[in-house]
Amino acid sequence: MRMRPTLNWFPDGDLPPGTSDWEPVAEALARGGALVLTGAGISTESGIPDYRGAGGSLSRHTPMTYQEFTADPQARRRYWARSHLGWRVFRRARPNSGHLAVAAFARQGLVSGLITQNVDGLHQAAGSENVVELHGSLDRVVCLTCGALAARSELAVRLTEANPHFAPVAAGINPDGDADLTDEQVGDFHVVPCAVCGGVLKPDVVFFGEAVPPQRVEQCRALVRDAASLLVLGSSLTVMSGLRFVREAARAQKPVLIVNRDPTRGDREATVRVALPLGQVLTDVADRLGVRVDDTRRPERPAGAPPGSG
C-alpha cells in the first residue's frame, strides 16, 4: 500500500539551535571530499520560490501527485496548462551566487559530488558537472507508454502550436515550474500526446507520491559512502528522498553540515546548522578559502536538454 506523500514537517520537541558561525562549513570544504546536497532554498535568489520557507508555495498550492496525474485526464490538462506557462518563466531564471559558489568549490577540487533535489537545471547552468538530479529535470519529458524521452523545448513548441491563444497571467510560479492558474484560465487547453506512440507524456521529474528510481538512489548512496562530509544547502529535508542521505552519513559518523535559515528534519543528525541566508554564507566561505566565484561564468541556459541527457 502506497503511503500519502509527506508535504510538510513540523518540529516535534526541542531541536539543536542554529548558529551564525559558518566556520565549520569552511573547514569541511577546506578538507576536501565534501558531498553537496541542495534543495529549493538555493534557487530562491534566482526568483524560484521554495516549498516550505516564508512565503513558500505550499502555503497556497498543493503539488500534483503521481497518482492524480496518471489517473485523471482532466488533472493532466490542468498540469500541462500550468506547467507550459510556468516553464516559460522558469527558463528565464539564471544561476545565483549560491549555484556559482558550488561550481567554484568543485573546480577547486573541494567537492566530491553534487546531488540536487531541484529540477531547475541551475547548477548545470552555473558550470557544475556530473550533477545527480535526484528528482529529475524539467528539461525533459518522458512517455509513460513507450518510455521515449524528448527535450522539453520540443514539447513547448508543440503545445504552443496546439494552443496558439493561450496566454493567461499567472498568480505565481512554484519550485516545480507549475504556474498558479484557475480552472477558468486553464479552459480547454489541448494536451498533446507522445510523438512516437501517441501515449501519455509526463515531465521527467519525480512527482510527490512517486518513488525515486532505485538506481539513482544507489548512485547517491555510493557518493555518501565515498564522501568525507555531507553539506546540505537550502533544504528542509522534509521528504525522505533527501533525508535518508543525511541519516546514512550520520550513521557513518561523517560530519553533516546544514545551511538553512529554518529548522530542518535533519537537524538532530547534523553536526551543525548554520541559520543564515545561503548566498551570503557561500560567498563568505568562498572568500575565506580564497575561491573565486566568477560571475562572468554565468552562461545562457541551453534551449533544452537532448533526449537521454542528465
Judged by average pLDDT, the poorest of 22-26, 56-60, 87-91, 159-163 is 56-60
The residue ranking higher by pLDDT, 70 or 14, is: 70
The residue ranking higher by pLDDT, 32 or 6, is: 32
% of the chain exceeding 90 in pLDDT: 70
The answer, yes or no, to whether residue 102 has pLDDT greater than 70, is: yes
Q: Which three cell numbers stand for residue 295?
A: 560571475
- CATH superfamily label, 23-297: TPP-binding domain (3.40.50.1220)
CB 178 within 8 A of CB 82: yes
Residue 99 is among the residues annotated as catalytic for this protein:
no
d(CA 232, CA 217): 17
Please indicate if the annotation marks 143 as binding a ligand: yes
How does DSSP classify residue 58?
Answer: G
d(CA 95, CA 249): 28
The answer, yes or no, to whether residue 202 has pLDDT greater than 50, is: yes
Please indicate if the annotation marks 58 as binding a ligand: yes
Give the per-residue pLDDT at 215. 97
What contacts 157, CB < 8 A, 6 or more positions away? Answer: none
Confidence of residue 85 (pLDDT cuts 50, 70, 90): confident
Confidence of residue 58 (pLDDT cuts 50, 70, 90): very low
Give the per-residue pLDDT at 146. 97
Average pLDDT over residues 150-169: 93
Please indicate if the annotation marks 234 as binding a ligand: yes
- Selecting among 61, 84, 99, 135, the annotated active-site residue is 135
Q: Which three cell numbers stand for residue 68?
A: 492524480
Beta strand 111-116 with 136-143: parallel, antiparallel or unpaired? unpaired
Q: pTM for the whole thing?
A: 0.87
Please indicate if the annotation marks 128 as binding a ligand: no
Please indicate if the annotation marks 241 as binding a ligand: no
The overall average pLDDT reported for the chain is 87
Please indicate if the annotation marks 47 as binding a ligand: yes
Average pLDDT over residues 283-293: 95
Judged by average pLDDT, the poorest of 42-46, 167-171, 206-210, 300-304 is 300-304
Please indicate if the annotation marks 257 as binding a ligand: no
- Find which of 25-29, 76-80, 177-181 is predicted with most confidence, using mean pLDDT: 25-29
Judged by average pLDDT, the poorest of 81-85, 169-173, 297-301 is 297-301
d(CA 50, CA 59): 11
Give the per-residue pLDDT at 306. 34
Judged by average pLDDT, the poorest of 125-134, 267-276, 295-304 is 295-304
Give the per-residue pLDDT at 302. 45
Average pLDDT over residues 274-288: 95
Please indicate if the annotation marks 120 as binding a ligand: yes
Give the per-residue pLDDT at 295. 64
The answer, yes or no, to whether residue 77 has pLDDT greater than 50, is: yes
The answer, yes or no, to whether residue 135 has pLDDT greater than 50, is: yes
